[in-house]
Amino acid sequence: MSAEFDKHAATYDGGLDHPLKRLLGSSADDFIAVKARWLLRREHGLRSANTNGGRLRLLDYGCGAGDLMRVLAGLGARASYAGCDVSTGMLAQAAARWPANLGAVPTLAAQHGARTPFGDGQFDVAIASAVLHHVPPADRPAVYTELGRVLKPGGRLYVFEHNPRNPIVRHVVARTPIDENAILLDLREVQDGLLGSGRYEIETDFLMFTPPSLAWLGFVDRALAWLPLGAQYAVAARKPA
């Protein structure tokens, strides 16, 4: 898997090599910003210092080129960022693409399969964004277990995935080079996987009913978050305290 992503690292553009995706968003950041704004509405601690006077510790699991962390920081999210990935090429891009005006480059570390080098209970927030569809189904339980391991008691886990119930999503994924080995997974699989690995409190939303480039239509997405046809879905899980 590392070699598969290494070959795309230097030219990675969030799948915008597909013309339909370019029509819906002018840049990869448009798509990422939908998820980043959703996170900021839920994680108020990302807007300010936490109750201990410090910043939330946030892990972007399978961070790729670091785009989600970069967009979050650009939108004003204040966190102590860390990212990990199986691809050292992607991690190199994450460091190279991090803008100087956003402060220090996040802590970046290589994964060994599902396993990360981080300690138990190290993070307040963990995110796996568009990661699981790249993981063989038999290996996904190990990912859920690892995400739970690195979360603090009471920590929050967020999983974003492509929604296979959306026909446009299936069309684009089937024709995007970096997704050539992707196996999409339904919301229920993520819910069952998380509940099989821990006693989480779980909530879900569906996202991207409107073109991501039209951010002013965000109110439509929020009104339709219950409808299982959005291009993406989000699972929010709270670890028991």
> Phi and psi (nearest 5°) for 180?
-60, -30
Return the H-helix or E-strand segment holding 58: strand 56-61
What does pTM read for this prediction?
0.91
Dist CA 182 CA 8 (whole Å):
14
Tally the residues of the chain: 241
CB 61 within 8 A of CB 91: no
Reported as a single tens digit per residue, the pLDDT across 120-162 is 999 999 999 999 999 999 999 999 999 999 999 999 999 999 9
Evaluate if residue 10 carries a pLDDT over 50. Answer: yes
Please give the structure tokens belonging to residue 48. 């300010």
Q: What separation, in Å, do the N-terminal and C-terminal C-alpha atoms of the chain show? A: 34
Dist CA 173 CA 18 (whole Å):
9
> Out of 47-51, 79-83, 141-145, 205-209, which region has the weakest mean confidence (pLDDT)?
47-51
Reported as a single tens digit per residue, the pLDDT across 159-217 is 999 999 999 999 999 988 888 899 999 999 999 999 999 999 999 999 999 988 888 88
Q: Among candidates 32, 20, 104, 19, which has minimal Cα distance to 63?
A: 32
Sorted by where each begins, the domain ranges of the chain are: 2-238
Residue type, 3: A
Secondary-structure breakdown of the chain: helix, strand, coil percentages, each rounded to the nearest 5 = 40, 20, 35
Give residue 100's pLDDT.
Answer: 96
Band of pLDDT at residue 51, cut at 50, 70 and 90: very low
Return the H-helix or E-strand segment holding 122: none
CB 123 within 8 A of CB 107: no
> Out of 18-32, 40-54, 81-95, 133-147, which region has the weakest mean confidence (pLDDT)?
18-32
Q: Which top CATH class is 2-238?
A: alpha beta
* Chain Cα centroid distance, residue 73: 14
Give residue 23's pLDDT.
Answer: 54
Please give the structure tokens belonging to residue 72. 């979050």
* Percentage of the chain modeled with pLDDT above 90: 76
CB 194 within 8 A of CB 126: no
Residues 6+ apart with CB under 8 A from 109: 82, 83, 84, 91, 116, 117, 118
Dist CA 175 CA 17 (whole Å):
9
